[in-house]
Amino acid sequence: MNRLGAGSIGGGGGGGGSAASAAGQYRVCGNCRKVPRQEKRVQVSPPLTRGPSAFIPENEVMQANGLDERTNLLVEEYSTSGRLDNITQVMSIHTQYLESFLRSQFYMLRMDGPLPLPYRHYIAIMAAARHQCSYLINMHVDEFLKTGGIAEWLNGLEYIPQRLKNLNEINKLLAHRPWLITKEHIQIADSLSELEALMERMKRLQEDKEDEEASQEEMDTRFEKEKKESLLVISGAFDDEIVSTDVSRYVEDPGFGYKDFARRGEDHLPTFRAQDYTWENHGFSLVNRLYSDIGHLLDEKFRMVYNLTYNTMATHEDVDTTTLRRALFNYVHCMYGIRYDDYDYGEVNQLLERSLKVYIKTVTCYPERTTKRMYDSYWRQFKHSEKVHVNLLLMEARMQAELLYALRAITRHLT
């Protein structure tokens, strides 16, 4: 991902909102397969909290995005539910990214592909359940039924066909420890096609880069240091989670969760060298081979969030935030054991304060534990839109990390 170029930085939590059935509000066009709205007005999900986000004041979300006509048009054309839900409202603060997100989501959930539509939504239900996200579960339960899904499957995993059960183990690993995925897991699956003072520090870093280049040995040492230190970053305090019945029915082995891939005291820490298997040179082409065109949509989404920029930071303008965005993206990959030989991991410690590291690790590895206090504790002087961008970066960095591990396993299975 380092190859991509690099924005404003910005996390909105998705507030509540019911996924009320929208059946009958749209029809499928046989020519383009898109879902045009019969009514021009986009419906907004009634929130459980005031405003679309539990973390951002309602007036600030509305002021930031304006819910302009462009957003409404995107929802009309690409939203699978036909509704302007809470998550979409928060993401619409960055309309350019929202378009890439909705297009890729629409393609995966609605366009022709190897899996029946109900299967796709059930897989989404299983994925959301791993992090106890009842909001997304309810949304996809609604879509599952509207696309012809068998209601009995919603009673739990024991009611689903073997074809979906075969994907559950991979779903579990992708959600928590993708580095454990092997070609043997791929062989078990039914078919491959189913696996689908910061500004100053930045300035000083840029000046230092011009003055001296670290040796490869020093770069290696800095990565290993950062990887080990990530073990010491503890996510927000929490009690033992009690998984509700509505969620637990879709979860097998609920005690399985993220576990630091690098353990203190071990001499040989497993590392995924990005240069050996990159998204650009390996993953992209394999994804397109298995599922035509999705690679282009995912690549566009990765590039969009990574390059998104307004050249601002808090109240400052004309700021190059490239190093900061790169540090955020690479820190997530570092926690998942992915290393870039040409990146100086010393930047991570210089640019990311401890409270931000705690937030990053929680959002990335244990998103269900994220709290408003954690959200408020870092970058207090920054705009909410910049924190939303942070969340989008973290989300896409994690997704790319999961893809890299899964696609590498598929490649090994094929060779």
B/e letters for 253-287, b = 16+ CB within 10 Å, e = fewer, are eeeebbebbbeeeeeebebbebeebbbeeebbebb
Contact 314, 383 (CB under 8 A): yes
CA-based nearest residue to 9, from 397, 399, 392:
392
Distance in angstroms (rounded) separating the CA atoms of residues 397 and 375: 19
- Residue tagged active-site, from 29, 32, 133, 334: 133
Q: How many alpha carbons lie under 13 Å from residue 48 in its C-beta half-sphere?
A: 11
**Is 133 a residue of the active site?**
yes
Mention every residue, 6+ apart, whose C-beta is less than 8 A from residue 131: 175, 366, 367, 368
Which residues belong to the active site?
133
